Structure 1
Amino acid sequence: MVAIQLARGVAAELFPGYGFPVSEEEKAAVHHLVMVDPDSYQSRVFDRAVMRGDGFFEAISVIDGKIPVSLDLHLARLEHNAKALDMPIPDEKAFHEACEELIAHYSGGHDDPMLRILISRGADPGTGVGRRHHPGMPSIWMYLDGEGEKHETTPLRMVSLSAGRDSRVAENSPWLMLGLKTLSYVVNMATARAAERMGYDDALFVTTDGYCLESPHANIVARFGDIWVTPDPVIGVLHGTSQRELFAYVRRLGKITRYQDLPVEELKKADEVYQTRGGWVIPVKSLDDTEFAVNTEFVKQANHAIHYEQEAQQAEWAHDNYQPTR
């Protein structure tokens, strides 16, 4: 069985209207993809993904190897990231077809593989190799991995760690690209390792003036009675697709959802706290020395709704009505 399916994207088809060339190999592509051996090298050392981490990505859970979670939200965020990074704008329909084609080629069994879309700014024109290739043409890779790390819903022990910035940096310094899903992930990975060295499962970034941000790989959501709260993305956090799915689910239950600035000391007063990432809701059982209740039945029901009740979930997306609070 094919448990890992890797493909290179055809830039001319996934980013139409920019005049990108099509190679002989790409002329035989099916639905904008060239299927390749996942064990072979697929990136030039001169690509800006390798040299500078210059690009963006999406990670989509594919439940039972067939059902992509929040696909439309992920593809909309691709466009948002491309605009923010001054890169060519992806064609949503073409990427939707490419995702469907990749899933159709996958035969890794009934697991929940992760589908990743990685897009770089392409070959660096500051190098000789980069100048010989089409300037500005993105590099695209997509893969489904049924052998990778699986999502767990084991309750997490988290530690709050300083992000080294205040709550106004994202507004005052937009060139820092805070809140985007970029390929530059070294800080996220280093923070996760730091939390592990300290004996915790994960970390929560906190501003120097005491406000919650996000985890290295996840958004944070808190329940205060019937009110569900997450940090407003304007503070410089990713507007999470899984967070939006959780908000959609609790609104279906008649609850209230809010985006707002959330002081870490206020978070510690919550009834329950959750991480949302990769199409999953994961309970948090503690932050620093504060313990939270863990509702395993709710976690089970929320994840089932997100994975298998997509029509009802999508109908609720439109009621998100997100507006920046400042």
Structure 2
Amino acid sequence: MDAVPPRAPRRSCPVPHSPVTVIGECVADAFTDAARSGPGELALRVHPGGGPANTAVALARLGTPVRFRGRLADDVFGRLFRAQLAGSGVDLSGCVAAGEPSTLAVAQVDGEGRATYSFHAEGTADWQWSAAELDAVDPAGSVCVHTGSLALAREPGGRAIEAYLARAGAAATVSIDPNVRPLLVDPAVYRSRLPRWCALADVLRLSADDVGHLFPGEPVEAVVDRFHADGVPLVVVTLGPGGALASLNGERITVAARRVAVVDTVGAGDAFTAGLLHHLGGLGRLGGRPDRLTPAEVAEACRYAVRVAALTCAAPGPNPPWADQV
């Protein structure tokens, strides 16, 4: 296992709703559309997606200033991503104009609204981060840096993002969502790198499905304790209709799910993360280590995040709510 990148001493300087930087991928989520398909053809309905991009959109719609740092292609999907992000109020000035094509995921939704994907991702723009590109991303002024998903797990860009987090963590709260995609990255890769990510992160949000892919058969609480032992103070596991389990330095908090007529669950976890970070920012708990964060505040933030995620499930595709809808 590689050594954890050195991290500068941490300070706490929270500023409510100061900018959050999000680094990661945009993915074109293409859903099969049986109603529009004819003999010998398959119609697709495409939504702009990708875990980090979804989180950036949701944060901006909730009212948190967001700087998105992605590698955006100049193709039909790249233009779709830009329109979605900019239309939601996300700052795209630090994005890289990528020469590679956009990533495509073809999704099929089951009767419970859960999506399964096939990915078309080899040689695409999202994973090609270089150290020079990230050196140009100034973390100054951001109280939080959020990343994760495939951009953090795939090479060559993943290691460059890790090094960036080690620098940014001197002043910003670091948030990571592994968003495990076993069809593209072997879960063993995530397992080998999670100790390093936990050493870099202040907040780790993952789903019960992620836990099952990573540590099959292990109880969720035992896995949470493993993450704490590796260094992350706040772990939140979303449990779908079971709500959420949060753990702040080992102190457990459970939050019930909200009842909603589910259209699909696409982007719900990303929306939860956005709601969590937005609410923590409003409490003044972003910026450096979460040393002053209390279990009551975690519960409050998770209850808000559950509402944001539920409203996302009530709309097709990764379409998170605006602040006045929550």
- TM-score computed with the length of structure 1 as normaliser: 0.30
- Whichever of the two has the greater Rg, that structure is 1
- TM-score computed with the length of structure 2 as normaliser: 0.30
Greater RCO (CA < 8 Å, at least 6 residues apart): 2
* Higher percent of residues as helix: 2
